[in-house]
A and B are shown apart, each in its own frame.
Chain A
């Protein structure tokens, strides 16, 4: 047992100890909070280098979360599969492109990577010197298709108006717009696959107007490239039946208009849906978890069939 001789001194000592403890605790907490804030600030600062420009709100309905139910046009689903255009021009021999540095580097540490060409005999050689423009589905294509010899301009939620306005995305650590990529090298082919995120727009004319502008810009910057407008690919039956925006009837209507646009502009329309759909024109159910995006296996199927179509 500890014996206290001077109670007054002991009390004083205890009080000082408690105060000291409180101060120490407060200091420790403060040091920890400051360190955490500093780390967060550093993280934010480093991240701000990759963040692309702010989107302008155009007041268009691109919301993917649609209510199930009242889609009165689902009966048209059998018409959805649009026949792929067959009169694709003969292929030019792929030319190995030397990387150019036309794009303004935001982070000058690394040159922009130009994909290496695949030998002529291989299935995906058709994608040599090809720029593929698109949305989240194209992002999946980039990740899983095995087509590594193409250049991609794609991002989730990408829409035609953003592309035309010069929205920048991060490609190999650099912020680039589609125009930067179009000016960076000479392409043999430019494949555009948009429309899915625009299905809910109030006026299809707005979509077609922007699409036409993009085609004109591509022609201007890549006069020798063959331009392909890729069909909006269908959705699964379950998605079709529960989504009043992203359903096959709407997709069919968009594709019909894209075909007309392709004719007007003298470019090709290509539709690889046949390799991904069942007899009713729906994406086969095991090809997608959400009814829209393709699994790794089906991205490969898509790529293989698209390559075949481009070779025709």
Chain B
């Protein structure tokens, strides 16, 4: 009887583990403890994303000063940033922001605000772009915040999950 109890208890724990892991999938960041992403420079990581994700529009680097204005962020909260944006024809965008300690959440919030602002801009203009804006990749890896707006969210997530920092 004791063995049955232990067996049942183990079964319950395993099932709970599976259930929690399954349900948490949609809300948890893709990889919060990805060291390679955390250590990558914003230039390298953004370039990697730009080169490997299929974008419809031509993507170009936006000046830092303009980035701070667009994202309504203070320079003192950010160590380095690289922002790529489209010509305006699409909502495609890639932002890799390395924040100061304890600022990642605020920066993540700023990214979400940027997405909302973009939605507002595109809804009466090119409503098709809302599809991209409804499912952006916004993730934290330590003090780094990464945002990708593209057609293939899954591909972007996979690229980020497989990212290996090549810096020595």
A: residues with CB less than 8 A from B are 2, 4-6, 9-10, 13-14, 17, 20-21, 24-25, 28-29, 32-33, 35-36, 39, 43, 46-47, 49-52, 55, 62, 64, 110, 113, 136-137, 139-140, 142-144, 146, 148, 155-157, 170-173, 197, 288-290, 292-297
- How far does the Cβ of B89 sit from chain A's closest Cβ, in whole Å? 4
Q: Which of B1, B65, B116 contacts A51 (CB 8 A)?
A: B116
Which chain A residues lie closer than 8 Å to B116 at the CB level? Answer: 47, 50-51
Complex Cα spacing A271 to B142, Å:
49
Q: Which of B1, B20, B88, B109 contacts A293 (CB 8 A)?
A: B88
Are B113 and A50 neighbours in the complex by a CB distance under 8 Å? yes
Which chain A residues lie closer than 8 Å to B121 at the CB level? Answer: 136, 155-157
Kindly report which residue of chain A lies nearest to residue B17, judged by CB atoms.
A28
Given contacts A17-B12, A39-B27, contact A110 B57 (CB under 8 A): no
Q: A24-B12, A157-B122 are in contact. List 4 more A-B contacts (CB 8 A).
A: A5-B1, A28-B20, A157-B121, A290-B87
Q: Which of A17, A43, A136, A170 contacts B125 (CB 8 A)?
A: A136
Which chain A residues lie closer than 8 Å to B57 at the CB level? Answer: 289-290
Which chain A residues lie closer than 8 Å to B85 at the CB level? Answer: 143
Q: Which of B19, B56, B65, B69 contacts A25 (CB 8 A)?
A: B19
> 0/1 per residue, B100-120, Cβ < 8 Å to A?
000000000100110111001
Q: Which of B26, B58, B65 contacts A295 (CB 8 A)?
A: B58
Are B23 and A13 neighbours in the complex by a CB distance under 8 Å? no
Are B88 and A32 neighbours in the complex by a CB distance under 8 Å? no
B51 in the interface (beta carbon within 8 A)? no
Given contacts A4-B4, A62-B124, A144-B60, contact A110 B72 (CB under 8 A): yes
B165 in the interface (beta carbon within 8 A)? no
B: residues with CB less than 8 A from A are 1, 3-5, 7-8, 11-12, 15-16, 19-20, 23-24, 26-27, 56-58, 60-63, 65-66, 69, 72, 74, 85-89, 109, 112-113, 115-117, 120-122, 124-126
Complex Cα spacing A43 to B3, Å:
48
Q: Which of A5, A17, A172, A297 contacts B8 (CB 8 A)?
A: A17
Are A140 and B125 neighbours in the complex by a CB distance under 8 Å? no
User: Mind listing 8 A-B residue pairs with CB under 8 Å?
Assistant: A35-B27, A50-B113, A140-B88, A143-B60, A156-B88, A293-B88, A293-B89, A295-B58
Complex Cα spacing A279 to B66, Å:
34
Q: Which of A17, A29, A139, A156 contacts B23 (CB 8 A)?
A: A29
Complex Cα spacing A32 to B116, Å:
24
Are B12 and A289 neighbours in the complex by a CB distance under 8 Å? no
Complex Cα spacing A49 to B114, Å:
12
Which chain B residues lie closer than 8 Å to A24 at the CB level? Answer: 12, 15-16, 19
Are B113 and A294 neighbours in the complex by a CB distance under 8 Å? no
Complex Cα spacing A36 to B28, Å:
9
Which chain A residues lie closer than 8 Å to B126 at the CB level? Answer: 64
Complex Cα spacing A288 to B86, Å:
11
Are B8 and A293 neighbours in the complex by a CB distance under 8 Å? no
Are B120 and A51 neighbours in the complex by a CB distance under 8 Å? yes
Complex Cα spacing A289 to B90, Å:
10
Complex Cα spacing A47 to B119, Å:
11
Which chain B residues lie closer than 8 Å to A146 at the CB level? Answer: 63
Are B66 and A46 neighbours in the complex by a CB distance under 8 Å? no
Complex Cα spacing A113 to B109, Å:
21
Which chain B residues lie closer than 8 Å to A46 at the CB level? Answer: 109, 112-113
Which chain B residues lie closer than 8 Å to A113 at the CB level? Answer: 69
Q: Which of B58, B63, B122 contacts A289 (CB 8 A)?
A: B58
Kindly report which residue of chain B lies nearest to residue A17, judged by CB atoms.
B8
Complex Cα spacing A43 to B109, Å:
8
Are B72 and A50 neighbours in the complex by a CB distance under 8 Å? yes
Kindly report which residue of chain B lies nearest to residue A38, judged by CB atoms.
B27
Kindly report which residue of chain A lies nearest to residue B128, judged by CB atoms.
A65
Given contacts A5-B1, A10-B4, A46-B109, contact A52 B89 (CB under 8 A): no
Complex Cα spacing A296 to B26, Å:
36
